[in-house]
Amino acid sequence: MLLGIVGLPNSGKTTVFNALTGAQIETTAFSGAAAEANVAMVKIPDPRLDRLTEHYNPKKKTHVELKVMDFAPFQKGQGEKGFPAKHIGDLRTCDALLLAVRAFEDESVPHPEDTVDAARDLETLLLELAMADLEVIERRIERIGDSWKRASKEERVKLDREKEFLEEIAKVLEAGEVIDSSKLDDDQKTMIRNFGLLTLKPLMAAINIHEDDLGADAAGKVRAALPGADLPILDLAGKIEMEIAGLDAEERAEFLSDLGIAEPARDRILRMAWERLGLIVFLTAGEDECRAWAIKKGDNAVTAAGKIHSDLARGFIRAEVAAYADFERHGNMQGVKDEGRYRLEGKDYIVQDGDIIQIRFNV
């Protein structure tokens, strides 16, 4: 899973990236459009995995990992061109985007619009994404025109249908609106699957506030100012959160309570991303390895098996399943079995968040 951080120059993208990943990339007031994208892996914290690891004492403990990329800034009003060409490919492969928006006042940090207005900037950013998508759609429409001339009668029918659909989408984007993917049929989804459209990705916004504004509900204000924007919004004091991310656990707890921050932004952002991506976690546990795995909500046992190894999906017989809550209540697996709650499930079983799974297979 790849989460991309995008935003206008000096909005605090790298600051948020550091807060999220614990990296210590330099942040500067000189927005450098030529900068390389920063990349880091984040281990998703999971108390259930910790508990299983304590119990089984395995050789290896493996968290679910999220890859995070901090991109160079969007330049306003330029669509794809406003974005370094070498990054656009990576940006289009992101599974979700975190839009970093500046709300902190600081005279030493220039703002491309000279004034700080988080709602305005978020709106700008959403428009930039739509413009970048529009370019992709228009390029494709042009190419359809070229192919049409050389196409057979049958192919033309197909191309016409595609063109008609893309023109519809272009209209939506031109109006600055978001494509509602829930209204697309499978055929339409297939047509645009490979475009990596930014506005179709799960989007989230992180409003970067000054620490003095903690508790002033900056996110709520942005939400109220943009009633049409359909994305989760949270706020964080980026600069402080970046410092917090560099502390060890004990110092961190103390620091957080001094500031009255209930939960580090890193955890809040990860949870938001998690929900937005529609992911759940299942666990495997044993003396070799305890591991957390991510799958989509609604995936079945065979898909889960395939995550672990393709052989397990191919030769799938049954999944042995225990709910984590049952394991926790008993403190061991034997208790779960004695209670008759250790289950055998078939291929169609829909995996639940926190399931501890062992696959029986035969290849």
Ligand X SMILES: Nc1nc2c(ncn2[C@@H]2O[C@H](COP(=O)(O)OP(=O)(O)OP(=O)(O)O)[C@@H](O)[C@H]2O)c(=O)[nH]1
> Of 9-17, 202-210, 221-229, 275-283, which segment contacts Mg ion by CB under 5 A?
9-17
Q: Which residues in 199-258 contact ligand X (CB under 6 A)?
A: 208, 210, 237-239
- Quote the least distance from Cβ 323 to ligand X, whole Å: 41
**Looking at 24, 32, 81, 189, which residue binds ligand X (CB under 6 A)?**
32
- Quote the least distance from Cβ 99 to ligand X, whole Å: 11
Please report whether residue 15 would count as binding ligand X according to CB under 6 A.
yes
- Quote the least distance from Cβ 183 to ligand X, whole Å: 34
Location of structure tokens 């991506």: 277
Q: Which residues in 102-141 contact ligand X (CB under 6 A)?
A: 104, 106, 109
- Quote the least distance from Cβ 136 to Mg ion, whole Å: 25
29 binding partner (options Mg ion, ligand X, none; Cβ < 5 to 8 Å by kind)? ligand X
Please say which residue, 64 or 242, places its beta carbon nearer to Mg ion. Answer: 242
| # residues near Mg ion by CB under 5 A | 2
> Of 11-19, 46-54, 125-133, 265-273, which segment contacts ligand X by CB under 6 A?
11-19
> Of 5-13, 169-177, 317-325, 352-360, which segment contacts Mg ion by CB under 5 A?
5-13
- Binding residues (CB under 6 A) for ligand X: these are 7, 9-15, 27-29, 31-32, 35, 73, 104, 106, 109, 208, 210, 237-239
